[in-house]
Amino acid sequence: MSTESSPAFTGVVALDGPSGTGKSTVARRLAERLDARYLDTGAMYRAATVAALRAGVGLDDGVAVTRVVETAEIEISTDPGAVSVLLDGEPVDAQIRSAETTAAVSAVSAVPAVRAQLVAAQRDLIGDGGIVVEGRDIGSVVWPSARPKVYLTASAEARAARRAGELQADVAAIAADIARRDGLDSSRAASPLTQSADAVELDTTDLDIDQVVDRLVELAHAAK
């Protein structure tokens, strides 16, 4: 709810960083606090990956993956209170989080034509702003004029422990998977995970979710 003292946020917040930094949770809560919309761009890459897996194309065949993603209809809600992704009209919220999808998403998101298509869709969704956008390349590629532009980090141990808690899985296996995905996401040729020079770095290792959200609310208000 907007109040006179705290009008709805009309800008664009870019939240980038590797997995396990708490990005999704804080991005959603930040959007709610700012009375803004929320866009999870990782969910779009994950939906594209579900499409590629269902089509059975080789994930190293960029041309085939691109063809599948071009014909897939990916719709995502920007309501922080009702996050959902549709692939060709079907909700795929569970499928996009499966181990199979998670293992394949770095390959799909490394295909330049897939990125071009999804970045264009993301820019359309951002539209006139009033939105918190999370991903890997929001401040660097998708919306370089976003303010604030924040890069979330956390120690490798903290990130693995958080993900293991979410997935109720083994910390060592999760740590290995995070390291593998970080390596792929940071080393790919097309828009790799990087920290923009003008991004504010926020290390969440020793902060709880509320502390991170409070700090982001301050940054968003200061950016007005």
Q: Which stretch binds ligand DC (CB under 6 A): 5-13, 71-79, 87-95, 134-142?
A: 134-142
Contacting residue, 11, 19, 146, 212, with ligand DC by CB under 6 A: 19
Task: Let me know: does 138 contact 15? Beta carbons within 8 Å.
Answer: yes
Measure the CA–CA gap between 185 and 107, rounded to whole angstroms: 9
For the CB of residue 41, give the shortest distance to ligand DC in the complex, in Å. 4
Is residue 137 at the binding interface for ligand DC, with CB under 6 A as the rule?
A: yes
For the CB of residue 181, give the shortest distance to ligand DC in the complex, in Å. 5
Number of residues lying near ligand DC (CB under 6 A): 13
Write a three-state SS string for the chain.
Answer: CCECCECCCCCEEEEECCCCCCHHHHHHHHHHHHCCEEEEHHHHHHHHHHHHHHHCCCCCCHHHHHHHHHHCCEEECCCCCCCCEEECCEECCCHHHCHHHHHHHHHHHCCHHHHHHHHHHHHHHHCCCCEEEEECCHHHHHCCCCCCEEEEECCHHHHHHHHHHHHCCCHHHHHHHHHHHHHHHHHCCCCCCCCCCCCEEEECCCCCHHHHHHHHHHHHHHCC
Q: Which stretch binds ligand DC (CB under 6 A): 37-45, 73-81, 157-165, 210-218?
A: 37-45
Is residue 109 at the binding interface for ligand DC, with CB under 6 A as the rule?
A: yes
Q: Which is nearer to ligand DC, 28 or 181 (CB)?
A: 181
Q: Which is nearer to ligand DC, 42 or 62 (CB)?
A: 42
Is residue 101 at the binding interface for ligand DC, with CB under 6 A as the rule?
A: no
Is residue 106 at the binding interface for ligand DC, with CB under 6 A as the rule?
A: yes
Instruction: Please state whether beta strands 85-87 and 74-76 pair in parallel, antiparallel, or not at all (unpaired).
Output: antiparallel
Contacting residue, 185, 199, 202, 220, with ligand DC by CB under 6 A: 185
Is residue 136 at the binding interface for ligand DC, with CB under 6 A as the rule?
A: yes
For the CB of residue 211, give the shortest distance to ligand DC in the complex, in Å. 21
Contacting residue, 45, 51, 53, 160, with ligand DC by CB under 6 A: 45
Q: Which residues bind ligand DC (CB under 6 A)?
A: 19, 41-42, 45-46, 105-106, 109, 135-137, 181, 185
